[in-house]
Chains A and B, each alone.
Chain A
């Protein structure tokens, strides 16, 4: 007998496409100073049970992208283009009611600073339970029990008493655990974690990242992990998207991007970071200059003002024409250098470093 095996759980309807598909997304804000092109023509896919790390510096559009997925932007001042498909549902054209049903239920988010994301007036248990009651129609008692169970799952000691405490009675790491408990209370299919460990100490960061991985294995959640730290991505994500100035600079599996980075910006990011085993006598090699203003992004390749190689790739192309990511699937990057040139440059760089 032949069986068709589905990667998803039984009972979930699964279209032919990937679980989450962002197609040609653009986000523009109108501000007093002019129009900010925060995201420009971004596409990526995410499969169930995998983690996508989105890496970029401040202002690269990584957070805005994810606010767009959740529909959390201010509609009066924001123009959004493109498509976001969550299985068979399009999210940009979805109404407010649909999004409200989705948020906290199928799609949840963890924010960077748990102290500002939690309400100081309500107990942790009530805040976790509120989501559960709204989406699952549970009673107060059920919601409380569920909150206790979730707190236990994320490793908070004595959850039966902790459930009645207020956020200020929790330490930073515990608050972030409580946030994770709140995000996972309805078993979401997609979890967006926006710099979840940036406000935490290293030893606590390591705990939280491991916890996210552990919970992902239990729940089969798809995770988008937004971070500025390639180190965090290396240990946690399956795939990486490097963003620069609202566009994708490089995408691929963690192995591909970290071992054989192709885009000059990714090279720059990697060579800027001191390692625990790198030579200490050579200076770091930062990317020169500063990230561009998104009010007036550079023409052509947005990275060209900071790039060392427009001469090699052909200045007319780099200065005037926006590169798009190629090849379409797999390990790709948005740069006009040929693969051969990139390989040579990268080998020269690593030899230089050693």
Chain B
């Protein structure tokens, strides 16, 4: 592996919950991210999957330092930026860019496409050779839009084209790392594939590292070399693509994989795991292992001891699992149905 670009160390982010009638006091905290360790190497793509409320978006925003962590460290190229001031962050900002989920709300409807893409260059006072307008046209061409369209407004474009505008804006400053937060989930299937291909091309041609946040496991597999599975603010399993998708050890990873609807009618049967209920509230997460309330293997130990994220015997290097009672490394195990309405 080459140089480490981004390193998150025991990262924690709690959002205060305030209550009380007259004097608003903090009555609790949403444990959005609770001790996450993650590294992203230069030119690498790390996928972050999990269900809504698991803290994957907060992790992304912390990595871009749009949020300040409650504790823990964010290192960018070895430099601690966890609590840096705006001024100190300024030289780093251009190197970390974001792509957002919703192509409708992430573009200012009153600005032309040219102004939107030029925005980052103006803010950071960057004057590319040949002028900003030429650079904007270049960028439009790179993302597959007509360079003549820089004077148009976002409403004149379709969802997929808007997402391309958002990508062009993220590319405007030649970033080293792009944090893509659900970049394709708002798009239609046929358009999704176009955007995924574009991102992959960009990564190959420009060597940009990606932190790819998504809930769609198949898309994440297609795009990421390494994958981290999050559950209620913690990484429960992390490893290279093959380990996570073919030799998963954590029961939650098994459950997630078996729940993916696949458009196949002939393939070999996969294990069928149906959990009961939904993800518990992150305001008051379960003690010990957070997955234990929905896990079929949970025992007393799981309620008292937090399982460490470690390499289990028989796993490849870099494949870490946080579970006291891991599953066999296969995706064709036995069926588990916990839902009372299905039993």
Q: Which residue numbers of A lie inside 8 Å of B, CB to CB?
A: 57-58, 153-155, 157, 171-174, 177, 201-207, 209-211, 214, 228-235, 254-255, 258-259, 268-278, 280, 283-288, 290-291
Instruction: Report whether B275 and A273 are in contact in the complex, using a CB–CB cutoff of 8 Å.
Output: no
B255 at the binding interface (Cβ < 8 Å): yes
Q: Which of B88-96, B166-174, B213-221, B304-312 contacts A (4 or more CB under 8 A)?
A: B213-221
Instruction: Report whether A234 and B264 are in contact in the complex, using a CB–CB cutoff of 8 Å.
Output: yes
Q: Which of B18-26, B36-44, B193-201 contacts A (4 or more CB under 8 A)?
A: B193-201
- Residue from A157, A209, A230, A280 within 8 A of B340 (CB atoms): A157
Instruction: Report whether A286 and B261 are in contact in the complex, using a CB–CB cutoff of 8 Å.
Output: no
Known A172-B278, A276-B217; judge A202-B197 contact (CB<8 A): no
CA distance in complex: A280, B196 (Å): 12
CA distance in complex: A174, B158 (Å): 34
Residues of B within 8 A of A230 (CB): 189, 263
Residues of B within 8 A of A287 (CB): 190, 193
CA distance in complex: A232, B256 (Å): 15
CA distance in complex: A66, B69 (Å): 48
Instruction: Report whether B278 and A173 are in contact in the complex, using a CB–CB cutoff of 8 Å.
Output: yes
Known A57-B188, A276-B218; judge A154-B341 contact (CB<8 A): yes
Known A57-B188, A207-B275; judge A258-B264 contact (CB<8 A): yes
Task: Tell me the minimal C-beta distance from B212 to chain A in angstroms.
Answer: 13
- Residue from B193, B261, B341 within 8 A of A272 (CB atoms): B193
A–B Cβ pairs within 8 angstroms, 8 of them: A172-B278, A174-B278, A206-B274, A234-B265, A275-B263, A284-B222, A286-B194, A290-B158
Instruction: Report whether A290 and B161 are in contact in the complex, using a CB–CB cutoff of 8 Å.
Output: yes
B112 at the binding interface (Cβ < 8 Å): no
Looking at chain A's contact residues, the main secondary structure is helix
Known A57-B190, A155-B342, A286-B191; judge A202-B262 contact (CB<8 A): no
Instruction: Report whether A229 and B222 are in contact in the complex, using a CB–CB cutoff of 8 Å.
Output: no
- Residue from A231, A277, A288 within 8 A of B261 (CB atoms): A231
B293 at the binding interface (Cβ < 8 Å): no
A232 (CB) vs chain B CBs: closest residue: B261
CA distance in complex: A201, B215 (Å): 8
CA distance in complex: A278, B221 (Å): 10
Residues of B within 8 A of A205 (CB): 259, 261
Instruction: Report whether A228 and B189 are in contact in the complex, using a CB–CB cutoff of 8 Å.
Output: yes
Known A203-B51, A206-B274; judge A283-B257 contact (CB<8 A): no
A173 (CB) vs chain B CBs: closest residue: B278
Instruction: Report whether B259 and A203 are in contact in the complex, using a CB–CB cutoff of 8 Å.
Output: yes
Task: Tell me the minimal C-beta distance from A233 to chain B in angstroms.
Answer: 7
Residues of A within 8 A of B52 (CB): 172, 201
Closest 7 pairs between A and B when the two form their complex, measured CB to CB: A155-B341, A231-B261, A286-B193, A272-B193, A206-B259, A274-B222, A201-B51
Q: A210-B342, A276-B218 are in contact. List 9 more A-B contacts (CB 8 A).
A: A57-B188, A157-B277, A210-B274, A210-B339, A231-B262, A273-B193, A275-B218, A275-B264, A276-B217
